[in-house]
Amino acid sequence: MSDQKEKRDEPSDVGFFLGEGDISKWENKDRKRFEKIFAGKEELNKIAENFEGITCDLRVGDEAFVSTDNEITNVKKERGIMIPPGTTAVIQVYEYLNIPRDFMGFLTFRFTHKQKGLVNVSGFHVDPGFEGNLALSVYNAGPSNVYFKYKEEVFTIFFFKLHKKVSEDVADRKPMTDLPSEAIEYLSGPPVNIYQLNKKVEKLENKVTTYTQILILIATGLVASLLAYAFIR
């Protein structure tokens, strides 16, 4: 009976989303099983406190890149990062993750920040075996600047337990501690968003209206001149 009870206390081998209840069980019976995911960057009890249901909040890291800038921003030094409307940014996650080969993650922005007009334009999932600081690309589709403070809780992550571990060949990657160069390479450029395009269209419409009125006045004057000349003759 004791063996059966022990098995019921352990998470099932069937795939499932990791929740705060699972963390409590692992903390008491096998602390290292969950602790290795966060690779010692934070204490386990602090990470467990951040769990709400099946999600865990993560923070803004040391580096970021905004598409209108010419270089990477040291967020730690600047104490924050500004994302203007129409720009895309790559933001590093502060927590250093070490995803086991029998887990995968799902990373996104917290809803409170999505309401500001932010759109996730990077991959949503975190591969099994990933190690390092994640980086998330986001596009500001809103009309206003969005500002994030250093270490502000901006991201949220889900962990999913797989049926079995992926092969070591699939999970064998170098740890990522810097922003990926390929992500930065394709982002540089002027800002473009719907709000700015709408403003440009409005300006163009105003110019067309003004030019049309001028042409009508010119045409009216020409017609009046021709009629006057015809009557004189």
Q: What is the pLDDT of residues 84-114, one digit of tens each?
A: 988 889 999 998 888 888 888 888 888 888 8
Are residues 149 and 186 in contact, defined by beta-carbon separation less than 8 angstroms? Answer: no
**Distance between CA atoms of 203 and 201, rounded to whole angstroms?**
5
**Distance between CA atoms of 100 and 129, rounded to whole angstroms?**
5
CA 224 to chain centre: 63
Q: pTM of the prediction?
A: 0.68
**Distance between CA atoms of 173 and 194, rounded to whole angstroms?**
38
Residue 80 has pLDDT above 90, yes or no: yes
**Distance between CA atoms of 131 and 109, rounded to whole angstroms?**
20
Residue 159: what pLDDT? 83
**Distance between CA atoms of 182 and 90, rounded to whole angstroms?**
11
Sign of CA dihedral 41, 171, 187, 123: negative
Are residues 24 and 125 in contact, defined by beta-carbon separation less than 8 angstroms? Answer: no
* Beta-strand pair 55-66/73-74: antiparallel
Residue 33 has pLDDT above 60, yes or no: no
Are residues 134 and 60 in contact, defined by beta-carbon separation less than 8 angstroms? Answer: no
Pick the CATH number of 2-185 from 3.30.530.20, 2.70.40.10, 2.20.25.90, 3.40.50.2000: 2.70.40.10
| Region of poorest pLDDT, from 45-59, 64-78, 113-127, 154-168 | 45-59
H or E stretch including 81? strand 80-83
CA 147 to chain centre: 13
Which residues are 56's β-sheet partners? 51, 157
Position 214: which residue type?
Answer: I
CA 73 to chain centre: 16
**Distance between CA atoms of 118 and 112, rounded to whole angstroms?**
10
